Amino acid sequence: MVTLKEIAQLCDVSPTTVSNVINGKAKTSEETRQKILQVIDETGFKPNIMAKGLRIKSSRTIAIIAEDLAQFTSPPIIESIMEACEQKDYRVIVHNLRLYDRWQDTWYNKKGDYNSVISPVINDILSAQIDGVIYVAGHARVIKTFNDNFELPVVMCYAFSESSDIPSVVIDDEKGSYDMVSYLISKGHKRIGFVGGRMDNLHTVQRLMGYQKAMFENGLLFDPNLVYYGDWSRQSGYDGASVLIKQNVSAFFGIADRMTGGIYDYLYENEIEIGRGISVASFDNENISEYFKPRLTTTELPLREIGKRSAELLLNKLEKKNADGIEESSDESEDSNGIDVIKVPCRLVIRDSVTSL
Amino acid sequence: MVTLKEIAQLCDVSPTTVSNVINGKAKTSEETRQKILQVIDETGFKPNIMAKGLRIKSSRTIAIIAEDLAQFTSPPIIESIMEACEQKDYRVIVHNLRLYDRWQDTWYNKKGDYNSVISPVINDILSAQIDGVIYVAGHARVIKTFNDNFELPVVMCYAFSESSDIPSVVIDDEKGSYDMVSYLISKGHKRIGFVGGRMDNLHTVQRLMGYQKAMFENGLLFDPNLVYYGDWSRQSGYDGASVLIKQNVSAFFGIADRMTGGIYDYLYENEIEIGRGISVASFDNENISEYFKPRLTTTELPLREIGKRSAELLLNKLEKKNADGIEESSDESEDSNGIDVIKVPCRLVIRDSVTSL
């Protein structure tokens, strides 16, 4: 097989010039560029991607670290990151930690287990020719995997970082919940049962905050007895409904479609007609929600959008770095700790499970 | 940063010996091995994965080419391939063609579009240090991407190859359908409406064959008027139900859960009670099927299993190649054209939508 060096000799230029042309760098005259491309074409030369990484500074390759590819949130995020990278001619390598696959939802308090899985991946990324990293979390929390001195640019997607060097792109849980509860209130509902996930989960905390703000702004008392903490499972939705129904609620707000499936189960079992006797709203807009009877009114997670924004953030950073040789100073808004957080709004999906009181 | 060569000098051995130790090859004395590992530890040497690929024959890295990561079938397949590879200490690189994302279901008759996407991926794989490839299709068909002279071992997953060098691991559509229709017949159903996908789709063809065999073996006439070809969409399930209901069927067999959702829609709309007035069975066991009311009796796709079998096939091939320097001759059964096809059985998931007539 012909080598890059031989191409250079055939064209009477330096190997660096050939490399620049292959990598689209505009430092070569058009005449030389055409000549080199012609010789590459004639000789059937295939640039060796791996060797290329060793020779030039930027490999135009980013790594995605997914906490679990099979979480329903991951594929749309990853797919839109890939789309954005393709448009800018970046390659993407996907690492999959398989955290839920290994340990279901028990892993996130086991630091040792997590470290045993993330460490080899970080080593891989650091010893390969990778320009930057997007970390795709399985659920929102503060992730401390990368310290301030981490040597590559990182963007945190669907979770929060604790480093001022690492921006986060998350969904706006609080606003999404606020919008849904405001919608329920606009339909006349005042006693709204809130079926949350685990109490210390950030999605739960922020969605409850949105609920409370909507109640407050409408001059409605917040009754803590209307809050039930489940564990995201369908069974816990069922249990929540059976508890809250005694509080004389006219509507349920389950904050995950799968859990809301359990609320439906309870109402079906007790022959309480959904959308007439009682209204039900939810969060996620998973594909299951379209198959509920009646079809579920829910809140769409902007998964493709947070993927796209994460990719844009990282690629802009890399392009600026390439152009200037210096790190970009971000234009994005910062929170009180100086950490960039981009919150992407959710969209209400109005179907048939909420009606006027 | 310290290099592999410097490690070799410090240990007074050849760079090849250091490389062998790093890659776990058992050609070195235990004493030398320990010494090298100690020096690696003390110097903080990180083997450069990419450079490593250039020096040694096997990179212990395989590539997955997914037709679309966001198809519901892909994540479980990919996750179990990764699990199997991890157990054997192989790295996995994921390429995602995003075919459905780009062109929905119109792409598979457009050879040019497909080639524009697959070609750069194949080039990437050939110029990187990859030991083998698993192609994860979005639906079953004969895939001609790799010719007989393709330079790497390939396993075709969830589709068929046309090369005797490339084994296929697929789900047993025909047997899965045969089992479900036999179950319906055992419940007293004789007029069973079959709502298929597109007529020329291999899943449709094989599932219809299973339906016909079950009818034949039970001495029941096959009435072609009971077959409706949809397009996998929910709407086409609705349309199929509205046509077949006039044929006096006592049960529907929709061959994809999403499409069967449309059968449910039709029956709901016409107040025909599912599981009493009429039975409904399906295929896929997507997560939506658990949320149907009544919960859907369906056929589980063995997605994790075909992923695992594909990985085992490829890794065994690679291990044998490494050990012997020759290609393995397969033990698997071959079809009449000499192409290995492994069919993995599906499992019936009995829920509440089928009752005795």
Q: A160-182: per-residue pLDDT in tens?
A: 998 889 999 999 999 999 999 99
3-state secondary structure string, A29-92? Answer: CHHHHHHHHHHHHHHCCCCCHHHHHHHCCCCCEEEEEECCCCCCCHHHHHHHHHHHHHHCCCEE
Which amino acid belongs to residue A181?
A: V
Q: What is the mean pLDDT of residues A98-117?
A: 83
Tell me the range of A274-283, B96-105, B342-351 where mean pLDDT is highest: B342-351
Q: What is the mean pLDDT of residues A83-95?
A: 94
Identify the pLDDT of residue B330. Answer: 45
Question: How big is the CA angle at A198 (ends A197 and A202), to the nearest 5 degrees?
Answer: 85
Rounded to a whole number, what is the distance in Å from the CA of A48 to chain B's nearest CA? 5
Identify the pLDDT of residue A320. Answer: 87
CA distances from B222 to A188, A320, B211, B225, B240 (A): 56, 67, 9, 9, 18
pLDDT tens for A186-209 read 999 999 999 999 999 999 999 999
Query: Does residue B121 carry a pLDDT above 70?
Result: yes
Minimum Cα–Cα distance from B261: chain A residue: A291
Chain B residue set in contact with A, beta carbons under 8 Å: 46-51, 53-54, 68-70, 74-76, 78-79, 82-83, 91-94, 96, 98, 101, 123-124, 126-129, 234, 261, 264, 268, 286-288, 290-293
Tokens 């009670």, residue located:
B273
Taking an 8 Å cut-off on Cβ atoms, the answer to whether A79 and B98 are in contact is: yes
Which residues in chain B are contacts of A74 at CB distance < 8 A?
Answer: 75
Give the closest residue to A205 by CA, choosing from A218, A219, A194: A194
Identify the pLDDT of residue A337. Answer: 58
Name the least confident of A322-326, B40-44, B137-141, B164-168: A322-326
Which residues in chain B are contacts of A84 at CB distance < 8 A?
Answer: none
Name the least confident of A65-74, B260-269, B318-327: B318-327
Identify the pLDDT of residue B147. Answer: 80
Between helix B15-22 and helix B30-43 the angle, nearest 10°, is: 90
| Interface size between A and B, measured as CB pairs under 8 A | 105
| B9 contacts: CB under 8 Å, gap ≥ 6 | none
CA A151 to chain centre: 22
Retrieve residue B217's tokens: 């073996």
CA distances from A328 to A54, A129, A321, B81, B235 (A): 24, 21, 7, 39, 50
Q: What is the mean pLDDT of residues B105-131?
A: 85
Which residues in chain B are contacts of A50 at CB distance < 8 A?
Answer: 50-51, 53-54, 127-129
Q: What is the mean pLDDT of residues B36-63?
A: 65
Average confidence score pLDDT of chain A: 88
Q: Is pTM, for the whole model, over 0.90? A: no
Q: Distance between CA atoms of A176 and A246, rounded to whole angstroms? A: 27
CA distances from A259 to A68, A197, B177 (A): 20, 8, 31
Q: Is A180 exposed, middle or buried (0-12, 13-18, 19+ CB in 10 A)?
A: buried
3-state secondary structure of A166: coil
CA B239 to chain centre: 29
Taking an 8 Å cut-off on Cβ atoms, the answer to whether B126 and A46 are in contact is: yes
Q: Distance between CA atoms of B223 and B212, rounded to whole angstroms? A: 9
Rounded to a whole number, what is the distance in Å from the CA of A104 to chain B's nearest CA? 14
Average confidence score pLDDT of chain B: 88
Identify the pLDDT of residue A25. Answer: 56
Higher pLDDT pick, B234 / B34 = B234
3-state secondary structure of A311: helix
pLDDT tens for B129-187 read 899 999 999 999 999 999 888 999 999 999 999 888 999 999 999 999 999 999 999 99
Query: Does residue B113 carry a pLDDT above 50?
Result: yes
Q: Distance between CA atoms of B117 and B128, rounded to whole angstroms? A: 17
Retrieve residue A21's tokens: 């042309």
In the 8-state DSSP scheme, what is residue B89?
T
What torsion, rounded to 10 degrees, do the Cα atoms A44, A50, A56, A59 define? 110
Taking an 8 Å cut-off on Cβ atoms, the answer to whether B291 and A261 are in contact is: yes
Taking an 8 Å cut-off on Cβ atoms, the answer to whether B288 and A293 are in contact is: no
Identify the pLDDT of residue B335. Answer: 52
Retrieve residue B226's tokens: 């009971």
Which residues in chain A are contacts of B48 at CB distance < 8 A?
Answer: 54, 127-128
Identify the pLDDT of residue A45. Answer: 62
Q: What is the mean pLDDT of residues A325-329?
A: 47
Query: Does residue A118 carry a pLDDT above 70?
Result: yes
pLDDT tens for A211-245 read 999 999 999 999 999 999 999 999 999 999 999 99
Q: What is the DSSP string of A194-210?
A: EEES-TT-HHHHHHHHH
Strands A347-349 and B61-66: unpaired
Cβ atoms of A103 and A116 closer than 8 Å:
no
Rounded to a whole number, what is the distance in Å from the CA of B315 to chain A's nearest CA? 19
Higher pLDDT pick, A280 / A13 = A280
Cβ atoms of A333 and A278 closer than 8 Å:
no
Rounded to a whole number, what is the distance in Å from the CA of A286 to chain B's nearest CA? 9
Cβ atoms of A96 and B79 closer than 8 Å:
yes
Which residues in chain B are contacts of A128 at CB distance < 8 A?
Answer: 48-50
Q: Distance between CA atoms of B159 and A184, rounded to whole angstroms? A: 47
Q: What is the mean pLDDT of residues A12-33?
A: 71
Query: Does residue B47 carry a pLDDT above 60?
Result: no
Cβ atoms of A171 and A154 closer than 8 Å:
no
Q: Which residues of A209-247 are buried (b: 16+ CB within 10 A; e: fewer)?
A: ebbbbbbeeeebeeeeebbbbbebbbebbbbbbbbbbee
Q: Distance between CA atoms of B93 and B96, rounded to whole angstroms? A: 10
Minimum Cα–Cα distance from B258: chain A residue: A291
What torsion, rounded to 10 degrees, do the Cα atoms A337, A339, A340, A342 define? -70
Q: What is the mean pLDDT of residues B211-221?
A: 97
Query: Does residue A329 carry a pLDDT above 50?
Result: no
Query: Does residue A327 carry a pLDDT above 80?
Result: no
Identify the pLDDT of residue A106. Answer: 73
